Structure 1
Amino acid sequence: MTALGPHIRQGSMMVLRLRRTFLAVSLTAGLVSVPLAAQAAGSPTGANASASGATDLSGVLLDDTSGGQLSGAKAQSVATEEKAIAAEDAATASSVMPATVSYTSLSITLQMQQKSEWCVPASSRATLSAFLSAPPSQTSLAKAEGTSDTRGTYVSLIPPVLNAYQSKNVYTWYKGTQSAKDLFGLLRANVKSYRSPIIPAMQAGDLPLWQEYGYTGNHAIALYGYGSDNSSIQYADPIDQSAMYGKHSTNVSHIYQGTKDLGTQGGIVL
């Protein structure tokens, strides 16, 4: 299994430890640890990738537990949306796409992770804000999800916690996504049928904004909206770096590639 961060085995599960490293431009330089406190707020270490190298922000969200399956009802919802998407794409194949993209979005509360290892609790709280006016705190979610301040969170522990706080959607960790179009269908079905955000376990270095500022790392974000072009999505990034933090839109192919770059460890909590 390929991983960016050091890993620690515990029983049959594996976690990746978050680390922040700075890759010097000099070809003779190695990796040098940079404490979080040394990174000025609003001025990421990798803000100029060509001049200052790349910063690795490896989130802690992977384990060796097998993923779950979609329920019959959810699988049917996804199949319905994928059929509709295919029909829409066929109908517009010979026409000029509109210059602007409209979005169907859920109302969620953006969260910045309160600790360097807390991308999962932060994304979980953003997700639960679609269901609850007062979702549990990141501290409560970190405790419920077994988050370690030094090692992070197992992905397999996310669905039971989300399901304990709401009943509109039965979350599972799904590893069966076959394409970017398949992922778009999963998001569209969850937003339309369940009013439910989804959380990908992905290599965030595949996100254009992370690439722009010279960052990479395994990470958890919340997807909460889809575009009328059947390829754009909206996501909330909780990373505690102002350059990438916030609500953004991108092509779904970047999210799909990010999940695939984690191999069998990648997947979607939906």
Structure 2
Amino acid sequence: MSHSPRIAALVGAVAVTMPLLAAAPAHAAPAAPVASVAAPAPQVEITATKSISIKTQEQQTNYWCAPAAGRALLSRLITKGLPNQKQLAKWMGTKSPSGTSAAGLRNGLRKALQTYGSGSYDVVPLSPGSQAAFYNSIKSAVGTKKVAVIFRVYVGYKPWGGHYNDKEGHFMVVRGYTTGSKPKILWWDPADNTYHTAPLASSWTSVKKAGHWEIVAAKR
């Protein structure tokens, strides 16, 4: 039996619209929010400077670096009647043109301490074998005992400035240091009565080149 034209038209319309309804896209789910990550705070290194005051005086002859350096060291231990360079040179056996030996420097300082009433201190010779030992000896003397330290370097190889070929010995004083990842050493030079700051590494190199001489005063 054949369908009427009206029913055939309705059946065709349903056949056309059904695929269109099936193909309609579903609604997309909302995207999840992205969490923000804060940048880490920069690390700030905390450093400090440890130093002591000393009474300084330019060396009075070109070979009296030891008497001048010794006088600066003694200024931490003697409050009255500090000996002059001429007296210290006599006690140290300082001679022209060779200057002062390490033993003469120690003997002269001991004589000054005994004469001027600070005999509770003795003069201690040290010979640091590494940069760490050099730095630790300065921290112990300056930071803990509050005394200065004398080191021998070469005239042509001081821890700062340009270097040249002069291996004449020269005594200078360390009066402080800085802490942190890049420590520095605070020097006083009796040659021209000047203060200097130099990196630990170059300070140690200068001392090592001149034979590791170190003089410090310590309680008996």
SS in 2 for 1:236: strand
Q: What is the rounded CA distance, in whole Å, between the counterparts of 2:71 and 2:48 in structure 1?
A: 26
Distance 1:234 1:182, change over 3 A: same
Any conservation in 2 of the 1:115–1:149 contact (CA below 8 Å)?
no
| Secondary structure of the corresponding residue to residue 196 of structure 2 | strand
Q: Deviations over 1:36-87 (max 9, x none)?
A: xxxxxxxxxxxxxxxxxxxxxxxxxxxxxxxxxxxxxxxxxxxxxxxxxxxx
Matched, 1:105 2:51: yes
Q: In structure 1, what is the equivalent of residue 194 of structure 2? A: 246
Whether 1:219 and 2:170 are equivalent positions in the alignment is yes
Question: Aligned residues: percent identity?
Answer: 23
1:115 equivalenced with 2:67 (yes/no): no
Question: Is contact 2:92-2:106 (8 Å) kept?
Answer: no
State whether residues 210 and 216 of structure 1, in contact with CA within 8 Å, keep that contact through their aligned partners in structure 2.
no
Q: Name the structure 1 match of 2:140.
A: 189
Alignment CA distance shift 1:228-1:167 (3 Å)? farther
CA distance in 1, matches of 2:52, 2:139: 11
Answer yes or no: is 1:167 the counterpart of 2:114.
Answer: no
Q: Which residue of the partner structure matches residue 158 of structure 1?
A: 105
Residue 207 (structure 2) aligned to one of 247, 250, 259: 259
In the other structure, the counterpart of 1:41 is none
Larger Rg over CA atoms: 2
The alpha carbon displacement at 1:97 in A equals 3.0
Q: CA deviation at 1:215?
A: 7.9
Q: Between Structure 1 and Structure 2, how many residues are aligned?
A: 167
The separation in 2 between residues aligned to 1:201 and 1:255, in whole angstroms, is 11
Aligned residue runs from structure 1 range 131-146, under 5 A: 131-133=77-79, 134-146=81-93
Q: Which residue of 2 aligns with 1:237?
A: 189
1:33-182 → structure 2 map (5 Å cutoff) = 95-98=43-46, 102-133=48-79, 134-164=81-111, 165=113, 166-175=118-127, 177-182=128-133
Could you say what secondary structure the match of 1:205 adopts?
coil
Q: Which runs of 5+ in 1 are unaligned?
A: 1-93
- SS of 1:199's equivalent in the other structure is strand
Indicate the RMSD between aligned Cα atoms, in angstroms: 2.4
CA contact (8 A) 1:110 1:246 kept: no
The unaligned stretches of length 5 or more in structure 2 are: 1-41
Q: CA deviation at 1:224?
A: 1.1
Q: For 2:165 and 2:55, how far apart are their aligned partners in 1?
A: 24
Q: How far apart in 2 are the matches of 1:224 and 1:115?
A: 23
Amino acid corresponding to residue 105 of structure 1 in structure 2: S
Q: How does the TM-score come out when normalised to structure 1? A: 0.55
The one-letter code matched in structure 2 to 1:239 is A
How far 1:161 sits from its partner (Å)?
A: 2.4
